Structures are given as structure tokens and as C-alpha cells.
Amino acid sequence: MNGLSARRDAIKAITEYKTLYAPLDFSETSPTEVFGCNVFNDCVMRDRLPKNVYKSLKKTIELGEKLDASVADIVANAMKDWAIEKGATHFTHVFYPLTGLTAEKHDSFLVPDGKGSAIAEFSGKMLIQGEPDASSFPSGGLRATFEARGYTAWDVTSPAYILENPNGTFLCIPTAFVSWTGEALDKKTPLLRSMQALNKQAKRVLKIFGVETKLPVICYAGPEQEYFLIDRNFVFARPDLLIAGRTLFGAKPPKGQEFEDQYFGVIPRRVLSFMMEVDRELFKLGVPVKTRHNEVAPSQFEIAPIYEQGNLATDHNQLIMTVLRSVAKRYGMVCLLHEKPFAGINGSGKHLNYSIGNDEVGCLFDPGDTPHENAQFLVFCAAAIRALHKYGPLLRATVASASNDHRLGANEAPPAIMSVYLGEQLTDVFGQIKKGEVKGSKKKGVMNIGIDTLPPLPLDPGDRNRTSPFAFTGNRFEFRAVGSSMSIAGSQVALNTMMAESLDYVATELEKATAGKPDKLNAAVQGLLQKIMLEHDAVVFNGDGYSEEWHKEAARRGLANLKTTPEALSQLSAPSTIDLFTKYGVLTEAELRSREEIYLEQYCKSIETEANLMVRIATTIIFPAAFRYQNELAQACANLKAIGKEYGTTTLDQLTTNLRAMQKVTYELQTLVEGGKGDSAHTQATFYCNTILPAMREVRKHADLLETIIADDLWVLPSYMEMLFIR
């Protein structure tokens, strides 16, 4: 397929797409009937489980108490009956390996009964534990191949659900994935561990403020997911999009091609149909999707759910990505979750809205209505500032990947320097605290009062700074550096653990200062907040994070700027990281080192694939097009010469020069990829970063220039203009 026929087919597809399912008529089916209809949720459990079993399970889910083994068989049985009524024949332990993907292995409910027939079986043991062969998943040396067995363990806090397929349905059970010696091989295990650490330290701080809560303090996450939709005809005609998920070549459209959204403000019809079906599918799975809209770039969109408990939000975000991909196909499109599918066009991220709290104590990043709550809020907020200052580079490492490197630090996404945006008012309050003269909120005039009598802080959530990687937005922090294709688990693991360490520090200091003297709390809080701001406010920055001055200023303040993945990943084995994670029981040193190794390997593999792909496309698609056009031009020149009308050969010269230059650098790239790469994962990654990527940029430079010279009908790769504007 080439560009021309892809263009024709894409245009046809736009008008001819068919919806697979008839649109739901909400006047007949109420949305509440649809929401969660495929989830083994609280209602279903209450209906189907004996009272005592239900109570015991609820305790495990809500209070994090150990699961009573005798309960598992009964739950499994109820779950099986429910699933079979919904047409399921198989069940799967869903897990989240370090590739960032979602993995599943299906097992049938049916077992032969020895009499030539079969019965449906699903025991407590099968619910609680699975044994997928772990050898094909990266373990970073944690496990030798002969110990290939890993096991999956039921995560009671994330409900089971049914996935539909036109050919039937199956039951999905969210699980943690560990080696047989108990080491985490996945993204969920450390997330659950980090939530435990956070809970313990947050409770100590709350206790000092006289707040007791039975429920664990948890993290909340609300991820806003960006993505591109491209007609699949274009993708089939572009091996780079098909294999690497991003364009390795592609000239910028001529100036004047407006990339401004107002031009395209209305969601295209096919896209809207797609969105409606996505929403419905996610509703059935109990994912509380809320908003959908156009994004900055043409053909770029966003979907965002209402925030949930961090672990559940993480599983749901994985489901969102799966559903986006599969529903797009039904409409003849491909959903691109790559962080930078098109050079020069805005990339896609995932804003992770993060806060901590629970149903009893509310959101701890919410200023609250009373002065007392305000003081407590300031303590949690200061703990976050301290955490970011101490462990910003670690947080940066959690979003390091080959694809996200194209985005971070470009003038569209927050830079790789981790700073905190507080907004004018909160900055003012903390500024006063730092000087030791708390007078009150800026607009309220000067009052010489203690923290306990600070007026309520009506923080303006509209107060936004889009250039900050970590921005306070009223009742949460918005971490904006996560890549669109990434799991949101890693960043939460870091945030929870960093917060736990800071809250531990805060609790220890306040416990010391108030031991036996509870009336000293006010003074102790003031003193501590002042100390934290004196030591850590270098991380606070409210200005333009994209500006050159900030890069210089950040260096002066001693903030790290880890521009590339190899640099950033070193943080995973830094002594400060190992101390932090081992102290709070989140990851062992071996687990951390294995993660660094795996992520470095992934980095190398993805760049190696792209480099090879680049050489292949150059050799088999671009050079032939160039030769053909060269031939035509040469023929035209010869013809003109024959009739005495020769007038120079500018285009032919330009083409020939660029083609030769491109052949040269392509050959160099090929030689580099085939040649030595260094032996440790780290030297290899550095080689790909510092040698291969620049060589790839050289190849692309020439190719993109050729695209602007060569006749459109010979250039078989669909252009940026076509891909982004035909939808």
C-alpha cells in the first residue's frame, strides 16, 4: 500500500465506518444499569455472599486486614457462578509486568469429570494464586530460568471483572506478580507496599493533630490520558507507525497549516462515535470516566476518569489504554499512545493527579475550613515540598523511557527538572512561615497570629501553571511528566514512599516537641514548617518552567536536570534511593537493581528497533522513490537539452546531493548499530543515547528534506498533513 491509496482508503473509511454495537438508548437502559454491570463489585458481593463471608471480605478490602483463607473458597464459588451467568468460560489472573503492559493467561473453568463430561470448577486456591510461567517476563536477574515459576496473588482491593469479546466473555482477576521467593516482578506489588508505608506514617502525623481513623490512609490518583487517533490505512502504509508507534520520518507541513485547535474544536463524527463506545465499554467495567475532549494537536484527544484509590486507578488506567486501543480498531483507526508520534507536533502525556487521605479524614491536601485543619494541611503540604526536594530525581526516574525522552524538556511538556508550583497565595503563606512571621493569608491583611488561627485558605484551583512538573491545584498535586503509554504505578510508588519518609520526619519532630506538652503543638508546628521551608524551598518555582532562565536558575539552586533516560535511571540504584525503599519495605536493593537493569534494557531495545527500522525504510522505501524521481528529472533535463532549452538543474542537484548524503549517514547508522555497544546495560544505554540517536536524527534530516522535493505520487509514505488532518 502506498500513500496515494492509503489516502483514498482513509477518506473512504471516514464515511463508511460502522458501529459494531447499536448505540445504547438511555431512555430505555438507565446509565446506572450499565455502570459496573461487568464488575464483581460491592453490590454483587452483598447479594451473593453469606453475610459473615461478605463482612470478612469487606474487612480485608477496606481495612487491609489479612484475608481469612476459609473465605476464599466461598468467594471463588460465588464469583464463578456470577461469571458463568455472564457467559464466561475462562478466567485469568491479570498482572502488570515491568514491561508496563497488562498480561493475562486464560484457564478454562471446565475440568473433565472422568465420565466423559466436564464440570465447572474454581476453588479458593485458584482464585488466590496462579502460576504463570514467568520466564518470558523481564526479571532483571532476580530469577534464573530454571526457577521460571512466578506466581500471581489475588489483589482483593481491586475487584474482578468480565471482559467481553464477540465470541464470548472471560473473568479477569487483578493480581500481584512475584517470584517464588517473593520478589516483586511487577508494578502492583511495590504500589501496595508503598501504600502501607504511607498509611503508617500519615497516621502518626494525624494522631498528633488528634485525628484517629480506622481506615487506612491511602493515595488517590486521577490520571488524565492523552492519545492520538490515526486512520489505520495510514498506519498500514507506515512501517514506523506500525512497528515503533511513532513516525521516524516526516516533513513538517508547510507553514500556514494551522495546528490551532479552535479550527477543529468540534469532535469529528467518527471520533465521537469512538469516544461514546469507549465510554460505554469503560462504564461496564466500572471505570468512572468523566471527561473527553480535543487536545492541542490535531487528531489528539484526552480522556479522564474521576479519581479513585491509587491501586484501583492504576488498574483502571491500564483498562482505559486497552479499551482505547481495541475500540479504535472497530472504527478503522489506530490509537497511538506513544509519547511523541509526530516530531514537531505536541506529544502525549498523562497527568497524574495525586493526593492522600481516606473517607474518614477526607483529602489531606485540602486546606479545609477551620484554622486547625489549615495547620494540618500546611504540614502535609510542607512534607510534600520536602519530599520533592529530597527525592525529585527519583521521581524523574519513574518516568524515564526512550519515548518519553522525546517529550520531557521539549517546549510542550514540563522539563526534566523537578520543581513544585504552589501558586501565589500558598507561596505567600509559606514565605511568611519561612521568615517566622505568620500574618495570614495575603488578601486578608496583616494579622499577627499563630498558625492555629490562620484564616481559611480559599485556594483558587483555577490558578494554573502548565509548565510545572508538579503543580498544586487546590486539593492535589498534578504530576505532569508521566508518559502517555506508561503505567502510573511507578510514580505513585515513588510519591508514596517519599511522602512516607517526609511524614516520618515530621511525626518524629512533632512527637519530640510535644511529648507531655500538647499545648506546645502550635509553636512546634510553626518551628517545623519554618525549618522545612528554610531547607527545602529551593524546589518551589512558580515561573515558566520551559524558559532558558529557569534551567540556569535551577542549576544555581542545585536542582538536578536529568535530561535523558540513562542519566535518570541511575537514580534507581543511588544510595539514597536504596536507603529510602529498604527502610520503608517497598523495594529491596536487589529489586531496585533489577528494575534499573530491565528499564535500561528496554531503552536499548526500543532504540535499536527504531534504528533498524529506519535503515530498512530508508533503503526500501525512500531511496527507491528518490532514484525514480532522479530518473524522471534527469530525463526531463535531457529532453530540454535536446531541444536547446536547458535552464539548469537545481532540483536535480538538490535531490542528488541530499540523496547521497542520506545514503552515507544511513550506512553509518547501520554500521553503528551492528558494531560494539559496550557490555554493561548502562554503557549500552549511553551508547544508544549519545551515538545512535544523533545518527538517527541525521538520517531523518535528509529524508525530511527529500520529502519536500520528491513528487507526491512517488513519495509512498503518508505525510503528516494527511495523517493528522484526514479523520
If binding is defined by CB under 5 A, does position 591 make contact with Mg ion? no
- Which of 355, 374, 376, 467 is the binder for ligand ADP (CB under 6 A)? 355
User: How crowded is residue 563: how many other Cβ atoms within 10 Å of its Cβ?
Assistant: 16
- Stretch binding ligand ADP (CB under 6 A), from 23-31, 128-136, 261-269, 303-311: 303-311
Q: Which amino acid is at 454?
A: L
Element (H or E) spanning 581, and its range? helix 575-583
User: C-beta of 517: minimal distance to Mg ion in Å?
Assistant: 46
- Rounded to the nearest whole angstrom, what is the least distance from the CB of residue 592 to ligand ADP in the complex? 27
Q: Is 593 exposed, middle or buried (0-12, 13-18, 19+ CB in 10 A)?
A: middle
Shortest Å distance, C-beta 473 to ligand ADP:
7
By CB under 6 A, what part of segment 653-682 binds ligand ADP? none
Among 128, 321, 363, 375, binds ligand ADP (CB under 6 A): 363
Picked from ligand ADP, Mg ion, none, the partner binding residue 635 (CB below 5 to 8 A depending on kind) is none
Q: 667-694 in b/e burial notation, b at 16+ Cβ within 10 A?
A: eebbebbeeebeeebbebbbbbbeebbe
Size of the site for Mg ion (CB under 5 A): 1
Decide: 173 and 91 in contact? Cβ < 8 Å.
yes
Q: What is the largest CA-CA distance in the chain?
A: 106
**From Mg ion, ligand ADP, none, interface partner of 307 (C-beta below 5 to 8 A by class):** ligand ADP
249, 307, 342, 470: which one binds ligand ADP (CB under 6 A): 307
Q: How far is the CB of 304 from ligand ADP (least distance, A)?
A: 4
Query: CB of 459: closest distance to Mg ion in angstroms?
Result: 18
Residue 478: CB minimum distance to Mg ion, A:
9
Min CB(309)–ligand ADP separation in Å: 10
* Grid cell for residue 49: 455472599
Q: Is 423 in the site for ligand ADP (CB under 6 A)?
A: no
Cβ proximity to ligand ADP: between 189 and 317 the closer is 317
DSSP line for 658-698 = HHHHHHHHHHHHHHHHHS---SSHHHHHHHIIIIIHHHHHH
- Closest approach of Cβ 314 to ligand ADP, in Å? 13
Residue 224 or 591 having the CB closest to Mg ion: 224
Question: Minimum distance between the CB of residue 395 and ligand ADP, rounded to whole angstroms?
Answer: 16
> Is the Cβ of residue 439 or residue 466 nearer to Mg ion in the bound state?
466
Please state, in angstroms and rounded to a whole number, the distance separating the CA atoms of residues 376 and 357.
Answer: 12
| Least distance CB 459 / ligand ADP (angstroms) | 12
Give the 3-state DSSP-derived string for 437-462, with helices as H, strands as E and coil as C.
Answer: CCCCCHHHCCCCCCHHHCCCCCCCCC
With respect to Mg ion, which residue has the nearer C-beta, 317 or 571? 317
Distance CA 357, CA 717 (A): 51
We find the least distance from the C-beta atom of residue 595 to Mg ion, in angstroms, to be 29
Question: Whose CB is nearest to ligand ADP?
Answer: 222
* C-alpha of 76 from chain center: 32
Strand duo 129-130 + 161-165: pairing: unpaired
Q: Note whether 475 binds ligand ADP by CB under 6 A.
A: yes
Among residue numbers 325 through 344, which ones bind ligand ADP (CB under 6 A)?
A: none
CB closer to Mg ion out of 471 and 503: 471
143 binds, among ligand ADP, Mg ion, none (CB under 5 to 8 A by kind): none
291 binds ligand ADP (CB under 6 A): yes
Residues 365 and 379: their CA atoms lie apart, in Å, by 9
Q: Which is nearer to Mg ion, 130 or 305 (CB)?
A: 305
Determine the interface stretch with ligand ADP among 70-78, 93-101, 128-136, 353-361 (rule: CB under 6 A).
353-361
Q: Which span sits near ligand ADP by CB under 6 A: 302-310, 374-382, 401-409, 492-500?
A: 302-310
Residue 312 dihedral angles phi and psi, to the nearest 5°: -70, -45
> Which of the residues 211 through 250 are near Mg ion (CB under 5 A)?
224
Stretch that binds ligand ADP, among 113-121, 347-355, 603-611, 644-652 (CB under 6 A): 347-355
Say if residues 371 and 456 touch (Cβ distance below 8 Å): yes
306 binds, among Mg ion, ligand ADP, none (CB under 5 to 8 A by kind): ligand ADP
Site residues (CB under 6 A) for ligand ADP, limited to 206-235: 220, 222, 224
What distance in Å separates the CA atoms of residue 656 and residue 282, rounded to the nearest whole number? 53
Pick left, alpha or beta for residue 644 (phi over 0 → left; psi -120 to 50 → alpha; otherwise beta): left
The site partner of 291 among Mg ion, ligand ADP, none (C-beta below 5 to 8 Å per kind) is ligand ADP
Cα-flanking dihedrals φ and ψ of residue 302, to 5°?
Answer: -140, 145
* Coil/strand/helix, residue 35: coil
CB of 217 to ligand ADP, least distance (A): 13
Write the CB contacts of 703 (distance below 8 Å, at least 6 apart in sequence).
249, 618, 622, 662
> Residue 167 forms beta bridges with which residues?
none
Q: By C-beta, is 250 or 305 nearer to Mg ion?
A: 305
Query: Closest separation between CB of residue 224 and Mg ion, Å?
Result: 4
Q: Are 649 and 633 contacting, i.e. CB atoms less than 8 angstroms apart? A: yes
CA neighbor of 694 nearest in space, from 619, 569, 607, 603: 607
| Adjacent-strand bridge partners of 9 | none
Q: Residue 194 or residue 570: which is nearer to ligand ADP going by CB? A: 194
User: Under the criterion CB under 6 A, does residue 501 sit at the interface with ligand ADP?
Assistant: no
- 250 and 707 in contact (C-beta within 8 Å)? yes
Q: How far apart are CA 283 and CA 22, in angstroms?
A: 16
Binding residues (CB under 6 A) for ligand ADP: these are 220, 222, 224, 291, 304-307, 353-355, 363, 475-476
Binding residues (CB under 5 A) for Mg ion: these are 224
